[in-house]
Structure 1
Amino acid sequence: MEVYVSGNQILFESDKVKSLGFTDYNEVLWNKIKEMKWNIRFSRSKNKKKQKPYIYSSNKGNPVDLHRFVMEHWYGESEMKKAKERDYVVDHLSNESLNCKISNLCFIPRTLNTSKGNDFDIRRKEVEKMFALNIFKDFRTQLFQITIVFNDPASFIDLENNKRLPIAKFFLLYDNKFRRVLT
């Protein structure tokens, strides 16, 4: 696997997948990543068509997935241990396993991760023709942002002034409570 920096991203390129993997560039993170050997593994799934690629390293005999490696870099080893003790996992908010940007990762309970994958992630794909919905987390503020971009004409109804206003996109901010954001 080729690993390199382009602009403000660290990119991971492999002939095993058509897409590039990526995370945010940070000099300290880059210095750690470039010293390791990275590869692609595919998730275990009963339905072989739905296997997802994950970037991982088995450097020094300790296998680690890139998304967990990135979270540990930004949050620290102690937060990773606390999350594991509470049965939390690192979730890819966009459901794109190769997007390991810190804004796309968050700790959520394992059970919520499973239900998100079995419901929300599927329904989000089904409505893409009408609107695109994405969730991001701002590492600095710890706020979640829901972004909705409408592909079909949409309106905001101003009940106070009895007006219908056309809208193309909508942004919502939420505190660091993922269950509420997902609901």
Structure 2
Amino acid sequence: MTLGVSHDESRIYFKQEQGSFFGYTDYTHELWKKISSVNWYVSQADIDKGNKTYIYTGSSKFDGYKKLHQVVMIHWYGIEKFTEAYENDFIVEHHDNDAFNCLIENLSFAPNSVNLAKAHTYDKERKEALPLVAINFFKDFTTQKYQITLGFNKDFKIRMKDGTEKGVTVIRLVYNDDFRIVFQDASNLLYNLTKYLKFDLSKLQHIDMEITESKYIFFSNGEEIPAGIEVDGKFVMVLSDHTRLVSVSPNKNLYKKRS
């Protein structure tokens, strides 16, 4: 199936000509010139069978690599680093396991063995955990730091260093450039939250963190709970059985802090 390509100021989009949306990556003028110079496809046969598939080109102009995520990584990191990674049995890892999300913040070089472990554990368990928590991780290209983000869909409290407890809706954890450590901490967080409904911050290897405390809103019996309300002039999502977080974006200012 042939895909059309377009862009706005921040993203490049890949769509079926009839309008079905397939994927995206970051827009830069140089990357757009490369992507718009060739045709792009997805496998209709794989889609019909429910198999995982990738956006790819039939062109050989990107040093013989044809998948969109490979082209994106070559653009940002250069062909020398890319081929070195592949020679050392590293692959391009989609953090959220969405093959169509080729934003540079969603891609890392990762050992193939870790990729396989992630596919059989974390990627499956993350979806099952959504009623409790949305957990994701991202990588900032400029600083080469990671953030794990947790968005809680149920009331959750953490114990602070001073011994007090705080209700939190969002936690952001910052890490140095080590995919394996980030993946291990994300996996441990996921396991401890789903198994024990708690985790120990002191056992994580983050270098910085930020929390967003919960705001509690009370409704009368029988009163319909809205998806969102206005608080102090800002629209706030109301989390309930019908409204939940699926992903929390990283705070880009946290990447820039010196730790």
Distance 1:39 1:93 in 2: 22
Distance 1:103 1:43 in 2: 29
- Mapped pair 1:121 → 2:130: no
Q: Which amino acid aligns with 1:59?
A: S
Distance 1:63 1:113 in 2: 20
Unaligned runs of 5+ in 1: none
Relative to structure 1, is the Cα distance of residues 17 and 105 closer, same or farther in structure 2, using a 3 angstrom cutoff? farther
Look up the SS of the partner of 1:122 in the other structure.
helix
Q: Name the one with the larger strand percent.
A: 1
Q: Who wins on radius of gyration, i.e. which is larger?
A: 2
Of residues 66, 90, 93, the one that matches 1:91 is 93
Look up the SS of the partner of 1:35 in the other structure.
coil
Unaligned runs of 5+ in 2: 185-259
Relative to structure 1, is the Cα distance of residues 34 and 68 closer, same or farther in structure 2, using a 3 angstrom cutoff? same
Deviations 1:135-165 (A, max 9, x none): 10000111111000000011121252x3221
User: Could you tell me how far 1:19 is from its partner in structure 2?
Assistant: 3.9
Aligned counterparts, 1:1-183, within 5 A: 1-14=3-16, 18-41=20-43, 50-60=50-60, 62=64, 64-160=66-162, 162-183=163-184
Q: TM-score, length-normalised on structure 1? A: 0.90
Look up the SS of the partner of 1:4 in the other structure.
strand
Q: Which amino acid aligns with 2:164?
A: K
How many pairs are equivalent?
179
Deviations 1:14-45 (A, max 9, x none): 2699543000000000001000100013797x
Is the 1:3–1:13 Cα contact (8 Å) retained in structure 2?
A: yes
Q: Which amino acid aligns with 1:56?
A: Y
Relative to structure 1, is the Cα distance of residues 77 and 16 closer, same or farther in structure 2, using a 3 angstrom cutoff? farther
Q: CA RMSD in A?
A: 2.1
Q: Which amino acid aligns with 1:76?
A: G
Counterpart for residue 216 of structure 2: none
Q: Which amino acid aligns with 1:135?
A: F
Is the 1:17–1:53 Cα contact (8 Å) retained in structure 2?
A: no
Distance 1:174 1:63 in 2: 30
